[in-house]
Amino acid sequence: MASFIPVSDASDFSFSNLPWGAVVWTDGTTHLATRLGGTVISLRALHQAGMFAGFAELQQDCFNAFIDRGPEAWSAVRRELQALYRAGSAWESSPLRAACEADCAAVANVLPVRIGDYTDFYASRQHATNVGMMFRDPANALLPNWLHLPVGYHGRASTVAVSGTDVVRPNGQRKGPNDPAPVFGPSVKLDFELEVGVVLRGGPTDGSWISVDQAESHIFGLVLFKDWSARDIQQWEYVPLGPFLAKNFASTMGAWIVPFEALEGARCAGAPQEDPSPLPYLKQDRRASHWDLTLEVAIVAADGRETVISTSNAKHLYWSFAQQIAHHSINGCVLRSGDLLASGTISGDEPGSYGSMLELTWNGSKPIRLHDGSERAFIEDGDTVALRGRTAQGPRIGFGDCLARILPAKPWQK
C-alpha cells in the first residue's frame, strides 16, 4: 500500500509505520499526531474533521486514555489512517486536509504519554557480562540470579524528557577506590545507555498478574530510550540498594512511539534459554519473541560533526519484553497505561556494538577518537548523543533521532 504523500525510501516514517506522537501544533495547543515522511498529521484535527468516530480520547494531549482502549482500538485508528492517506483516496483533494497537516519543522514534539512509573531492566547478557568482568570476578561475571529472572530497578518518571531536551550534568558524591574520602561535585564519568522501551497498557488491579503469553497485548508500542548514568556517582552509592542519584537525574525518550503491530514483520528469535531453563511463569510459547532492529549511537560534537561510535541490534536482548512484563507483575504489582519499561543497555558481542561508553572505552581506559581528532572517555559538556533505530529487514520502519545535548553542571554553594 502506498500513500499519496511522497515518502523517501530513507525516511523512518514510511506508510508502514504511522507512529504515535504528540506535538505543539501551529496554534500553540498540544495535539496527538502521527507522521508520514516529513509531514506531521494531527489526530485531533482529523477527529474534529469527522474522522475516528467513537475515539474522543484522541482530542486529549496524551495517549493514556486511548491506550486504555486496547489493541482493537489501536488497530482501528491505524486502519482508518491508512484508508485516508492511501493513494487514490478522496481525502487527497479534501479542503479539510490543510488544517490537519503540518511540516515537521513547524511543530515541536512533547512527551506523547503521561508516564506514571518507569522501570529500567538489565536484559542484555553481553552488557551484564561486560560490567561483571570490569568490576567483579571475570570468571563469574554474571551474578547468580541473572539467568533466572529479568533484573530491574524502579527509575524516576519525573525526569524522563522527550528527545531534544538538554541534560544538565549532575552533581553528586564520588569516591574512587584509592581516594581516602568522598568528594562532591559534577560527575566526571557521564555516560549514556542505548535502550529500547515499551509503553504499556494497564493490567490487573486485584493482585493478579499479566501472563507471559498475554503480555504482548499490553504493549502499545516501542520507543528509543537513552538512560543517562553518572558512573562515578553510581560506583560509590549503589551498594547495597542499587542505582539512585547516578540514574534519576535524566532519561531521554524518543519523540515517536512505533506501534506494536507495525513491527510484526521484524520479529526474530532471541537467544536460547535452556541452561538454565526459566521458571514456568517466564517460559514463552512464541519463539520469535524479539525484534530485529538495527540501533546506532553517534556523538555530535559542538562543531556539529558526528561520529558513529556503536552499531547494535535489539535482538541481542536475552530477556524479552513479554518476560519483563510478566516478571514485573507476577507479585501483583499494578501496571498502568502510559507506564514505561526500558530494556537496559543493549550490547552485542563485538566492541563496536557495545551500548555504553563504560563498555566502549572499558571504563575510560580506551578512549574513542572523534572526527575532529579529540578523544572521549565519557561524554563531555557540549556533546549531543544521538540514538537511531529502524527495522533491519523489509519496509523501513524507524524511530527518528533520539537526541540530547549535555550542558555544564549547575554551580553549587553551601
Q: Cβ distance 153 to 118 under 8 Å? A: no
- Residue 393 has phi, psi (to 5 degrees) of -130, 160
Catalytic option among 127, 218, 290, 316: 127
What local confidence, expressed as pLDDT, does residue 181 receive? 96
Q: Is pLDDT at 234 greater than 90 in this prediction?
A: yes
| Average pLDDT of the residues in 61-87 | 98
Per-domain residue ranges for the chain?
21-110, 118-407
Distances (CA, A) of 11 to 108, 187, 379: 19, 37, 28
What local confidence, expressed as pLDDT, does residue 68 receive? 98
Instruction: Let me know if 328 is a catalytic residue.
Output: no
| Average pLDDT of the residues in 252-263 | 98
| Average pLDDT of the residues in 103-110 | 98
Burial class (CB in 10 A: 0-12, 13-18, 19+), 90: exposed
Q: Cβ distance 297 to 309 under 8 Å? A: yes
| Average pLDDT of the residues in 195-206 | 98
What share of the chain in percent tops pLDDT 70?
100
**How is domain 118-407 classified at the CATH fold level?**
Fumarylacetoacetate hydrolase; domain 2 (3.90.850)
Range of lowest pLDDT (138-142, 198-202, 382-386): 138-142
| Average pLDDT of the residues in 63-91 | 98
Local confidence band at 287 (pLDDT 50, 70, 90 cut-offs): confident
What local confidence, expressed as pLDDT, does residue 183 receive? 95
Q: Is pLDDT at 101 greater than 80 in this prediction?
A: yes
What local confidence, expressed as pLDDT, does residue 391 receive? 98
Local confidence band at 203 (pLDDT 50, 70, 90 cut-offs): very high
Give CA–CA dist 21/64, Å, rounded: 12
pLDDT in tens, 337-356: 999 999 999 999 999 999 99
What local confidence, expressed as pLDDT, does residue 1 receive? 79
pTM: 0.97
* Mean pLDDT, the chain, integer: 96
Q: Cβ distance 326 to 209 under 8 Å? A: yes
pLDDT in tens, 304-324: 899 999 999 999 999 999 999
What local confidence, expressed as pLDDT, does residue 176 receive? 87
Of how many residues is the chain composed?
414
| Average pLDDT of the residues in 197-221 | 97
- Name the superfamily (CATH) of residues 21-110: Fumarylacetoacetase, N-terminal domain (2.30.30.230)
Q: Is pLDDT at 285 greater than 80 in this prediction?
A: no
What local confidence, expressed as pLDDT, does residue 260 receive? 97
Tell me the sheet residues that pair with 343: none
What local confidence, expressed as pLDDT, does residue 136 receive? 87
pLDDT in tens, 39-52: 999 999 999 999 99
Q: Is pLDDT at 286 greater than 80 in this prediction?
A: no
